[in-house]
C-alpha cells in the first residue's frame, strides 16, 4: 500500500529507521543512496505488482500446454524481481524462462505437466519496500463434445486425461443437471469408454453435463460442458419428411369386465425419425367412431385400457387414463405410431373383443360322503366348490369306480343339487364315488373320491354305530404375511386347534385381488405351515386364506383381515401410519381385531371387553406397504373393576 501521495524529497536514503510512533502516524528516516544513477534522485516509490484480473482467480492449464504468467511491476528505483514456487526460488532451465524488464516481468513454463500444479509467488523489492502477488495453477479436465441432441437424448465424447495421476483410469463418471436446479444427477459411474449416450431427457429442458475420470486413488476434477437444450436441431427437423409405418400384431389379453391389455410390435419403418409414442384407439359400435383411449402418447408397446370407470389405471409397464363406457360390449382396437412428422397409419384392427370377466371351469367340489346305504341304493352328498370360476354352477356329474378297477364310469349327469339318491347298484359290490361341477366354461376337476362303501345292510349298521366319526379339521390359526415383494408374498400360519380325528394331510392356499370377488387357488397340496405365493401383480392389493384338509375333507378357511400391497418394501423407508390391536380370549383360538389407532400413538384404551373374561392382547404396526408381524402377546389378563384397598 502506498503511504505518500507525492514523491518524498530531502530525506535520508539508507538504513530505513523509524521513531515517534503513534496510533495515527510514524516518522521514517534513512541515509541517502550511494548511487544516484547519474542524475539527482527526485524521490522513492515503493514496489507495486499488478496482475491480470483473470489470474487473480487462478489459472487452469491443460497438461502439455505453455503457461505464461505476466505481471506489471512498478517502483522507484526499479525493484528486484524473483519468482518462487512452494518456497523454492525458480531458476531458468530448458522449460522455465523469466523475462524481467523495467515495469514488467513474465514467467513462462513450456510443455506443462501435472507437477507444475502449485501456487506461484512473484516478489518485488526496492529500497522503499517489498510487494508480493500469488497465482494458483490448476490442472484442466479433458474437454468433451455433445452431438446428436434430440428431445430425449444426446451423445457425449471426450478425450482421456493427458495426466492419469500415476495410475490407469478405471472408469468415468457421467453426471447431468438441469440449469434450474442445483443437484447433480449421476447417470453412470461405470463408463469404461470415452463415449456415452444420455437418455430420458425432458424435452426443451436446459441441461449441463460433466465427466470425471477415476483411478485407484480417487476421482479427478470434472470436465463440464456448456449448457444445451434437449430438442431436435433444425437440420434434423428438415430431414424428417414421413410419419412412421403401422404397428403390427396388436393382441388383446387379460380381458375383464372393465379393462383389457394390448400389446403390439413396433412399425417396420420409422419415417426417418425415432418413434416418440403410440396412440391407442377403440371402435365403439354404438357411435360408429374410433375413440382415442390415451390423452398423451405412450412410450411402451403395451397398454391397458380401462373401459368402465374413469380413473388412473396402473399397468406393469405404463400408467394411463381410461374412459368411462359401459361394459358387456364388443370393441375393436388399433394402434398408431407417432414421430416428429406426426401420427402414422393405424395398425390392422383387432377382432371385436367382448368386455367381460373371464370364465373358467369351477374348482372341484368337496369330497362326497355316503349316507343311507341300502342293498342297491345309497344317498351321496357333497359340498359346493369354493370357487365357481366366474359363472353359476349349472349342474354336477357323478362317477363311480368298482373295487379292483382303475376305470371311472360316468353314472349321472345334470344333477342340480349337492346330493343325489343312487339306485340300481349291485349288492355286496364295493364302490367309490367322485363328483364334478359344471358351468359355462366346462367341467371342473374331479373331487376327491369318497371312502369305499359296500352295499349291504350290515355295512350300513357298522357305519352308523361309529362312536367317533371323522370330521374336517378346524381353521388354521394366526395366518400372516411374513414377507412381501412386488411379485410374491411369504405366508405362515399355525396348525388348527382340532384335526377332526384324522391327521392333516395338506393345506389349501388361496389368494384374491381386492378388486375381484372370486378367490383363486394357489396350491392345494401344501405340506408345511408356510408358503410363498407367486406370481403377484405389482401394485395390486391382495388378501389370502388357508384351509386344512384331512381324510374327512377340507375344513374352514383362516382368512386375513387386512390386504397387503404387492410392492418391494426393502428399497424404501416408510413412515408408520398406525397400530392395530388384537385380542384373544383364553379359551378361544382366533385373534380378533379390537381397535386401530388413527396415528402413531403407542397406547390405546380398549373398551370392548366383558367383565370376568380372561384375554390376551398383541399389536401390529401398519404402513403403506401393509401390516407387519404381531408383537409378542401379553400375559393372560382378567377383566375386572379396580377396587380401592381397605383396612379391616
Asked whether residue 310 carries a pLDDT value surpassing 60, the answer given is no
Question: CA of 87: how far to CAs of 64, 120, 367, 375, in Å?
Answer: 24, 9, 98, 120
DSSP class of 340: T
pLDDT at 460: 35
pLDDT at 309: 27
Taking Cα atoms as reference points, which of 233, 144, 140 lies closest to residue 195? 144
Does residue 589 sit in helix, strand or coil? coil
User: Within a 10 A sphere around the Cβ of 523, how many other Cβ atoms?
Assistant: 14
Question: CA of 528: how far to CAs of 67, 477, 490, in Å?
Answer: 77, 14, 13
Specify the long-range contacts of residues 587-595, CB closer than 8 Å, at least 24 apart: 589/474, 589/477, 589/497, 590/475, 590/477, 590/558, 591/478, 591/618, 591/630, 593/561
Q: Which three cell numbers stand for residue 118?
A: 502449485
Asked whether residue 96 carries a pLDDT value surpassing 80, the answer given is yes
Does residue 525 contact residue 444 with C-beta atoms inside 8 Å?
no
Side-chain-side CA neighbours of 306 within 13 Å: the count stands at: 17
Tell me what the mean pLDDT of segment 192-219 comes to.
89
Look over the chain and give the mean of its residue pLDDT values, rounded to a whole number: 79
Lookup result for grid cell 514488467: 104
Q: Is the pTM of this model over 0.85?
A: no
Tell me what the mean pLDDT of segment 101-115 comes to.
84
pLDDT at 557: 93
Percentage of residues in the chain having pLDDT higher than 70: 76
The DSSP element (H or E) to which 464 belongs, if any, is: helix 457-464
Question: CA of 133: how far to CAs of 3, 29, 35, 70, in Å?
Answer: 19, 27, 29, 11
Tell me what the mean pLDDT of segment 194-203 comes to.
90
pLDDT tens digits along 437-493:
999 888 999 999 998 876 553 333 333 334 456 788 999 998 999 899 989 999 999
Does residue 446 sit in helix, strand or coil? coil
Asked whether residue 205 carries a pLDDT value surpassing 70, the answer given is yes
In this prediction, residue 547 has a pLDDT band, given cuts at 50, 70 and 90, of very high
Q: List, in order of start, the domains of the chain with CATH numbers.
A: 47-139 (2.60.40.10), 144-231 (2.60.40.10), 248-354 (2.60.40.10), 369-464 (2.60.40.10), 468-572 (2.60.40.10), 575-648 (2.60.40.10)
pLDDT at 74: 87
pLDDT tens digits along 238-274:
665 688 889 998 888 877 777 788 888 888 888 777 7
Asked whether residue 154 carries a pLDDT value surpassing 60, the answer given is yes
pLDDT at 10: 42
d(CA 425, CA 400): 11
Amino acid at each position: 500500500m502506498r503511504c505518500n501521495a507525492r514523491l518524498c524529497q530531502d530525506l535520508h536514503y539508507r538504513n530505513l529507521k523509524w521513531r515517534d510512533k503513534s496510533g495515527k502516524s510514524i516518522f521514517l528516516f534513512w541515509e541517502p543512496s550511494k548511487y544516484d544513477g547519474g542524475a539527482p534522485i527526485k524521490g522513492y516509490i515503493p514496489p507495486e505488482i499488478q496482475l491480470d484480473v483473470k489470474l487473480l482467480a487462478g489459472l487452469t492449464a491443460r497438461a502439455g500446454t505453455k503457461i505464461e504468467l505476466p505481471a506489471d511491476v512498478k517502483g522507484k528505483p526499479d525493484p528486484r524481481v524473483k519468482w518462487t514456487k512452494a518456497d523454492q526460488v525458480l531458476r531458468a532451465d530448458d522449460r522455465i524462462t523469466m523475462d524481467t524488464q523495467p515495469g514488467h516481468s513474465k514467467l513462462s513454463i513450456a510443455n506443462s505437466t501435472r507437477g507444475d500444479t502449485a501456487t506461484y509467488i512473484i516478489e518485488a523489492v526496492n529500497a522503499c519496500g517489498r510487494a508480493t502477488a500469488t497465482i494458483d495453477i490448476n490442472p484442466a479436465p479433458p474437454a468433451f463434445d455433445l452431438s446428436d441432441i434430440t428431445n430425449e437424448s444426446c451423445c457425449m465424447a471426450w478425450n482421456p486425461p493427458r495426466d492419469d495421476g500415476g495410475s490407469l483410469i478405471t472408469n468415468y463418471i457421467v453426471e447431468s443437471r438441469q440449469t434450474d436446479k442445483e443437484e447433480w444427477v449421476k447417470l453412470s459411474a461405470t463408463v469404461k469408454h470415452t463415449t456415452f449416450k444420455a437418455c430420458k431427457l425432458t424435452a426443451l429442458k436446459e441441461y449441463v453435463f460433466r465427466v470425471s475420470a477415476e483411478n485407484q486413488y480417487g476421482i479427478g476434477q470434472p470436465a463440464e460442458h456448456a449448457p444445451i437444450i434437449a430438442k431436435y436441431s433444425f437440420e434434423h427437423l428438415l430431414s424428417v419428411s414421413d410419419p412412421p409405418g403401422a404397428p403390427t400384431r396388436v393382441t388383446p389379453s387379460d380381458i375383464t369386465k372393465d379393462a383389457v391389455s394390448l400389446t403390439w410390435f413396433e412399425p417396420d419403418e420409422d419415417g426417418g425419425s425415432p418413434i416418440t409414442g403410440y396412440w391407442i384407439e377403440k371402435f365403439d359400435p354404438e357411435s360408429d367412431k374410433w375413440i382415442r383411449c390415451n390423452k398423451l402418447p405412450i412410450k411402451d408397446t403395451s397398454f391397458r385400457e380401462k373401459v368402465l370407470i374413469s380413473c388412473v389405471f396402473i399397468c406393469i409397464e405404463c400408467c394411463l387414463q381410461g374412459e368411462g363406457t359401459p361394459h358387456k360390449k364388443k370393441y375393436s382396437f388399433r394402434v398408431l405410431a407417432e414421430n416428429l412428422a406426426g401420427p402414422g397409419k393405424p395398425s390392422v384392427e383387432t377382432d371385436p373383443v367382448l368386455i367381460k370377466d373371464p370364465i373358467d371351469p369351477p374348482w372341484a367340489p368337496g369330497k362326497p360322503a355316503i349316507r343311507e346305504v341300502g342293498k342297491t341304493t345309497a344317498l351321496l352328498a357333497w359340498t359346493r366348490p369354493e370357487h365357481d370360476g366366474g359363472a353359476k354352477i349349472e349342474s354336477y356329474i357323478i362317477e363311480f369306480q368298482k373295487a379292483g378297477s382303475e376305470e371311472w364310469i360316468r353314472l349321472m349327469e345334470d344333477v342340480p343339487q349337492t346330493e343325489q339318491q343312487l339306485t340300481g347298484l349291485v349288492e355286496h359290490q364295493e364302490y367309490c364315488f367322485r363328483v364334478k361341477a359344471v358351468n359355462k366354461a366346462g367341467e371342473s376337476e374331479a373331487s376327491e373320491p369318497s371312502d369305499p362303501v359296500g352295499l349291504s345292510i350290515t355295512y350300513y349298521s357298522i357305519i352308523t354305530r361309529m362312536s367317533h366319526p371323522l370330521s374336517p379339521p378346524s381353521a388354521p390359526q394366526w395366518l400372516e404375511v411374513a414377507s412381501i415383494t412386488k411379485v410374491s408374498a411369504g405366508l405362515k400360519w399355525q396348525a388348527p386347534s382340532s384335526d377332526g380325528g384324522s391327521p392333516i394331510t395338506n393345506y389349501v392356499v388361496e389368494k384374491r385381488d381386492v378388486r375381484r370377488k372370486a378367490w383363486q387357488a394357489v396350491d392345494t397340496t401344501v405340506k408345511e405351515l408356510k408358503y410363498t405365493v407367486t406370481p403377484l401383480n405389482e401394485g395390486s392389493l391382495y388378501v389370502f386364506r388357508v384351509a386344512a384338509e384331512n381324510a374327512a375333507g377340507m375344513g374352514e378357511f383362516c382368512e386375513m383381515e387386512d390386504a397387503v400391497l404387492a410392492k418391494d418394501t426393502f428399497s424404501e423407508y416408510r413412515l408408520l401410519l398406525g397400530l392395530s390391536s388384537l385380542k384373544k380370549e383364553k379359551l378361544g383360538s382366533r385373534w380378533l381385531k379390537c381397535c386401530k389407532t388413527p396415528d402413531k400413538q403407542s397406547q390405546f384404551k380398549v373398551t370392548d371387553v366383558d367383565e370376568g373374561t380372561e384375554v390376551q392382547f398383541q399389536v401390529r404396526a401398519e404402513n403403506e406397504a401393509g401390516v407387519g408381524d404381531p408383537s409378542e402377546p401379553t400375559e393372560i389378563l382378567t377383566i375386572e373393576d379396580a377396587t380401592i384397598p381397605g383396612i379391616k
